């Protein structure tokens, strides 16, 4: 157990729908990062939050949004889902320069 908790582990939904992925960082970590891993794009950085504030944005679509709550858990909201959004979505957290600790991921399948 890495200490970073992601729920749900698997999600199957239809095109056009909206889903919410949840992440609880390791205790003490203030930063939360979201990554998307797809077969054609590899691992892509989506967004970072630090202590409740958005700190960096990567290749995140306008249909996607995220937030970090006062208890530091984070949610990634994906709307108007398309088949191409099917991917493994990772959350990671960090406190220092020794990189991230990743959660086990949420596998999203859009049908």
Partner 1 sequence: AQKITQTQPGMFVQEKEAVTLDCTYDTSDQSYGLFWYKQPSSGEMIFLIYQGSYDEQNATEGRYSLNFQKARKSANLVISASQLGDSAMYFCAILSPPLSGSARQLTFGSGTQLTVLP
Contacts of 22-26 spanning 24+ positions with Cβ under 8 A? 22/73, 22/74, 22/75, 23/73, 23/74, 23/75, 23/76, 23/91, 23/93, 23/103, 24/72, 24/73, 25/72, 25/73, 25/74, 25/91, 25/93, 26/2, 26/93, 26/95, 26/101
Q: What's the min distance (Å) between Cβ of 104 and partner 1? A: 4
The footprint of partner 1 (CB under 8 A) covers 2, 31, 33, 42-43, 45, 48, 50, 55-56, 58, 88, 90, 92, 94, 97-105, 107
Residue closer to partner 1, measured from CB, 16 or 58: 58
Q: What's the min distance (Å) between Cβ of 95 and partner 1? A: 10
Residue closer to partner 1, measured from CB, 45 or 75: 45
Q: What's the min distance (Å) between Cβ of 106 and partner 1? A: 10
Residue closer to partner 1, measured from CB, 60 or 79: 60
């Amino acid at each position: 157990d890495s200490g970073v908790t992601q729920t749900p582990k698997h999600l199957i939904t239809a095109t056009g729908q909206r889903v919410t992925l949840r992440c609880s960082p390791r205790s003490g970590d203030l930063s939360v990062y979201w990554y998307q891993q797809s077969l054609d794009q590899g691992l892509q950085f989506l967004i970072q939050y630090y202590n409740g504030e958005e700190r960096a944005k990567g290749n995140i679509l306008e249909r996607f949004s995220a937030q970090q709550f006062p208890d530091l858990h984070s949610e990634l909201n994906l709307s108007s889902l398309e088949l191409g959004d099917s991917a493994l979505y990772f959350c990671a957290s960090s406190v220092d320069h020794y990189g991230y600790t990743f959660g086990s991921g949420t596998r999203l399948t859009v049908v």
